[in-house]
Amino acid sequence: MNAFAWGAFATGLGWAAVSALAVMAGTFAIALNAGVHRVVDVAWGVAFAAVAASSFGLSGGQGDPARRLLVTGLTVVWGLRLAVHIARRGSGHGEDPRYEAMLTRARGNRNLYALRMIYLLQGALVWLVSLPVQAAQYTPRPLSALAWAGTASWAVGLFFEAVGDAQLARFKADPANHGRIMDQGLWRLTRHPNYFGDFCVWWGLFLIACDGGWQAATISAVSPLVMSVLLINGSGKRLLERHMAGRPGWDAYVARTSAFFPRPPRRSR
């Protein structure tokens, strides 16, 4: 086998969509029982892990075994870590203000509106963003340097996400920090270490797919671009900074700290 397995990949696309929607449908049922839709944030990482696992299971005998195992393992680790972190962070809290604001625009049944605008939309995004993970399963080429460069990018991303999340959690747990802006650790280098980490993770997974050949690269090129737009100009950085604007110390923090890509803080004049 020397060519990209187009037929098997096409079948896998359908099952990946089923996997993502199954996670979102189950989460929607949980949300109805709990009375809050913020649980969908936990499902985001779980859905990526489910897509990776289903793609791995369906691609046996089609792609390079080492690449299949690598891209699946990296995606599952990233997705489940994110899900556990968000579940712990949101435990005991009410509805997320983002979803509460969104649901005020609903005409008719709020839950059906949430199903369309939150769950189905996020399921579709999971399917689209995970195209590098899906395509990498069906490339027969053995791993080369580009795949290891992608793995290194993924590792940098996971470091920024995991360490940044842990630093922020410790900061918020200290009552002395109430009302203060987090500007320590990785948060000195970028205002959004967790979003920068996501950025590195998905460009890294894309490089692993590219290592398999031009077919996988072409199929999945849109995915890291979409994730980058979401993180920087969509529901990530832009929305969070709008929420933070006006808090004491925020303007000074913005003036000295990189908006996204890490760098040493600017010195105040």
Q: Could you give the CA distance from residue 137 to residue 117 in angstroms, rounded to a whole number? A: 30
Mean pLDDT of 29-34: 92
Q: Could you give the CA distance from residue 40 to residue 45 in angstroms, rounded to a whole number? A: 10
How many Cβ atoms sit within 10 Å of the Cβ of residue 223?
A: 24
Q: What is the reported pLDDT for 18?
A: 97
**Per-residue pLDDT tens for 145-158?**
999 999 999 999 99
**Per-residue pLDDT tens for 42-85?**
999 999 999 999 999 999 889 999 999 999 999 999 999 999 99
Q: Could you give the CA distance from residue 40 to residue 103 in angstroms, rounded to a whole number? A: 14
Pick from 1-5, 156-160, 192-196: least confident: 1-5
Q: How many domains does the chain have?
A: 1
**Domain assignment present for 269:** no
Whose structure tokens read 């075994």? 65
Q: Could you give the CA distance from residue 207 to residue 204 in angstroms, rounded to a whole number? A: 5
**Domain assignment present for 92:** yes
**Domain assignment present for 20:** yes
- The closest of 49, 37, 198 to 120, measured between CA atoms, is 37
**Per-residue pLDDT tens for 77-118?**
999 999 999 999 888 787 777 788 888 888 888 889 999 999
Q: What is the reported pLDDT for 220?
A: 95
**Domain assignment present for 78:** yes
Q: Could you give the CA distance from residue 167 to residue 54 in angstroms, rounded to a whole number? A: 33
pTM for this one?
A: 0.93
Q: Check residues 2 and 232 and name the one with the higher pLDDT.
A: 232
Q: CA-based angle 145:151:154, to the nearest 5?
A: 145
Supply the DSSP string of 152-209, one letter for each residue: HHHHHHHHHHHHHHHHHHHHHHSGGGTTPPP-SGGGGT-S-HHHHHHHHHHHHHHHHH
**Domain assignment present for 266:** no
**Domain assignment present for 142:** yes
What domain range includes position 188?
6-256
- The closest of 132, 129, 125 to 9, measured between CA atoms, is 132
**Domain assignment present for 261:** no
Q: Could you give the CA distance from residue 82 to residue 41 in angstroms, rounded to a whole number? A: 9
**Domain assignment present for 73:** yes
Query: What is the largest distance, in Å, between two alpha-carbon atoms of the chain?
Result: 63
User: For the chain, what is the total number of helices (H) and then of strands (E)?
Assistant: 13, 0
DSSP structure class, residue 181: P
